[in-house]
Amino acid sequence: MKETLPLGRIAGVRVGLHWSVLVIVGLVSVMLAVGRFPQAHPGRPGWVYWGPALLTAVVFLASLLAHELAHAVVARRNGVEVDGITLWMLGGVARLRGEAATPGAELRIAAVGPLTSAAAGVLFAGLALWLDMLHVSGVVVEAVAWLAAINVVLAVFNAVPAAPLDGGRLLRAFIWHRTGDRLRATRGASAAGRMLGWLMMLTGFAAVLFADDLSGLWPALIGWFLIAAATAEERQAQVRGVLDDIPVSRVMTRDLATVPATATVSRFLAEGPFGHYRHSAFPVLAPDGTAAGLVTVALVDQVPLQARATTKIGEVLRPLADVATAASDEPVVDLLPRLETSRDRRVLIIDGGRLVGIVTPADVSRALTWLTTATRAGS
């Protein structure tokens, strides 16, 4: 899930929003301002409902962010690097660079999310009681009480033992601990996730068809997401099993077509696509030979025609700080999350400041095909 609006860093973790997060804000605001608040405290002006409703939706997003930040912080303490956090329509996603090394680390990383949501629920409940004792506006108390309830619901739902929920991670940690087989544990958690997803889809559509309750579309949507995510997680685990212990150096492309940062845009375009430059993205080298970044045809296309003869590639490239990178001795499985979330779907391989290769999804697919074939032949 790629972010649309970066928010900076919190506790050293990059945080961003996906545009679909507006769906959460809209749904929560409408549900509270049109439904819950007027029902509990009728006869108030519209702004009395809409103001707290919008603020409640924002605080709810903050509680989702706290949930994901807890995962990220504990993951880093257990040796798992974190690329960032993105909030989107169905909650939040903490993008981890690798996997936990032990079942115990997996358990700690997974458990802290529901515990954080449960703690938030308790804090909001206490705040609601305190505000009620102070005779604060009933709508405000209702808003805080809703935040308490929704965080408790979030904690309970995420604790359900089904991937990709946190409870699925806990189930995987348990099976992994009992069997010593991470892949088998992932398959078990993924199967549970698909079962839960189908149950939610069937009950959601049943509510729509037989009870004329359109709110059933929401659990149906979540169920569909669970099925897709659980299936993808199992597939990724299978890929990791095949690529386990394979270093990046065996997968990367070594013979690179690079672009000097001092070359003009017009010169670059004159040499492709039938000349030296046959792809759509290329590493860029600084005058000293070190990697400067990555240039794509899409970036070059943004340069006005009249300026291409004088504009240097170094002026339009994506800086190295914004490009996914890895070392050649890293395991390929640790590189995969970076490749999946990379804006350009490429990872530059750098050793000692020097560019030594590049990895694309095609490189990984090719290696996966060969290794899978070799494994089947050996069996």
The neighbouring-strand residues paired with 326 are 349
Has 68 been annotated as catalytic? yes
Q: How far apart are CA 59 and CA 147, in angstroms?
A: 8
Given 68, 106, 142, 233, which residue is catalytic? 68
Q: How far apart are CA 57 and CA 51, in angstroms?
A: 10
Instruction: Say if CB 328 and CB 349 are below 8 A apart.
Output: yes
Q: How far apart are CA 336 and CA 99, in angstroms?
A: 11
Helix residue spans in 216-279 (DSSP H): 217-243, 265-270
Q: How far apart are CA 192 and CA 183, in angstroms?
A: 14
Contacts of 264 (CB under 8 A, 6+ apart): 308, 309, 310, 311, 312, 313
Token readout for 95 is 């993008």
Q: What is the DSSP string of 306-367?
A: GGTTT-BHHHHSEEGGGS-EE-TTSBHHHHHHHHHH-TTS-EEEEETTEEEEEE-HHHHHHH
Point out the residues that are catalytic: 68
